Amino acid sequence: MVGNENINIKGLQFEWDVQKGTFQFEGQEAVLFWISTAMKSFFDTIEEISGAEASSLVFEASGFRQGLVVGEYFEKMKDLSVEEAAKSITSTYASAGWGQIEINDLNYETKTLTAHLKNTWEYKINVAQNKKQEGKFLPAHFAGIFTGLFGTNIWYEVVQQQLDGHEYSIINYYPSEISITQNIHQLARKKESEQIQQLEELVEEKTKELKDLVKQLSSPIIPVLEGIVVVPLIGKYEVDRAEELITNTLNNLPSHKASYLILDLTGLDNDISEQTASLIEKIGSASSLIGSKTILVGINPELSLIISQSGMNFSQFDCFQSLQHGIHFALGQMGRRIL
């Protein structure tokens, strides 16, 4: 083919200019693609990047908006009725290779109609993709067309699809408040909700991991010398953590044959609560019941003031400023010393 070529098919004009690399359909620049290869690859890529749900909405939204442009164009042609415009559109689309499209039961008063779609390009792509559900581009496209022609929002319902083995797909159209914008916002809210849920699950998972780690690292029992163990108290102690400390300490003291339990308070927060003060008293009292005396060390002036104001009775415990002093005292009480 050299130069310009013009073909008229049933009143529709096709024009090629090979030298310029252009193709025109009814005076408008157009392009040609292979359906089951190039277009399939295009659809596959969108779905791969966007995901099945988002890409379905992309096709539906773009189909509707393209159809709206067509419908509004024909609506401005006052010499054509809606029925005539619909017939002209389906004839034009058939010439462009969109498939066999019939409009039935069109009622301008109720703004309803039924479309039969057979062997459309979208159906052929879906077949090549081994899909079980037909795409939403063309159903939404004709919703957009008749939204423009009727001047009111039209939506659709798929009654049957050719992919299920029927001779053609049947789509009913009717006035509706459903809109592409609403669907986009709905998907966005759904995605946002899913992301929030995923973040909440991640936070819950990490919180559990952190709690488990805290349990493993928090207040370990350290046997420093025969008969003497040290438990360092670190940070704040809420109800769960306090119970864990008491249980862990009392369960392990017998295995260490501990005569003395040294509670190192160096790592406690200065804003010690009444609950933490009560925790120290409970550990000391419970330890004495199983034969271990409690010594408190690491009490700085600020902490001693807070403890004294807590109302708890700490007179039962021997208290020292440093861990070293506490260990030496415990050894002395046992008749031993470090050489």
**Which tokens go with 121?**
């390009």
Fold classification of 217-333 is Transcription Regulator spoIIAA (3.30.750)
**Burial letters for 159-176: b for 16+ Cβ neighbours within 10 Å, e otherwise?**
eebbeeeeebbbbebbee
Alpha carbon distance 175, 147 (integer Å):
9
Are the C-beta atoms of 31 and 16 separated by less than 8 Å? Answer: no
Q: What is the three-class DSSP state of 108? A: coil
**Per-residue pLDDT reduced to its tens digit, 184-240:** 777 567 666 667 777 777 777 877 777 776 666 666 788 988 899 999 888 777 777
pTM: 0.57
Cα–Cα distance measured from residue 191 to residue 211, given in angstroms and rounded to the nearest whole number: 30
Q: What is the pLDDT of residues 240-283, one digit of tens each?
A: 778 888 888 888 888 888 899 999 988 877 666 677 778 888 88
Q: How do 260-268 and 293-297 pair as beta strands?
A: parallel
What the block records as the tokens of 250 is: 């009392």
Give 178-185 contacts, CB < 8 A, sequence gap 24+.
178/153, 179/153, 179/155, 180/60, 180/61, 180/64, 180/65, 180/140, 183/57, 183/60, 183/61, 184/57, 184/61
Q: What are the angstrom distances between the C-alpha of 46 and each of 137, 266, 321? A: 13, 60, 69
Q: At what angle do helices 137-150 and 82-95 cross, to 10 degrees?
A: 150
Domain extents for the chain?
1-32, 34-178, 217-333
Give the per-residue SS3 of 158-181: EEECHHHCCCCEEEEEEECCCCHH
Summary mean pLDDT of the chain: 86
Return the CATH number of the domain spanning residue range 34-178.
3.30.1380.20
Predicted pLDDT of residue 270 = 64
Tens-digit pLDDT profile for residues 7-59: 888 788 889 988 888 989 888 898 888 999 999 998 999 889 888 888 888 89
Q: How many residues would you count in the chain?
A: 339
For 55-92, the pLDDT digits (tens) are 888 899 999 999 999 998 888 877 789 999 999 999 98
Give all strands of the β-sheet with 28-29 in edge-to-edge order. Answer: 4-9, 12-17, 22-25, 28-29
- Contact assessment for residue 264 and residue 232, using Cβ atoms and an 8 Å cutoff: yes
Structure tokens at 290: 């199983």
CA distance 276 to 268: 9
State pLDDT tens for residues 106-148: 999 999 999 999 999 999 999 999 999 999 999 999 999 999 9
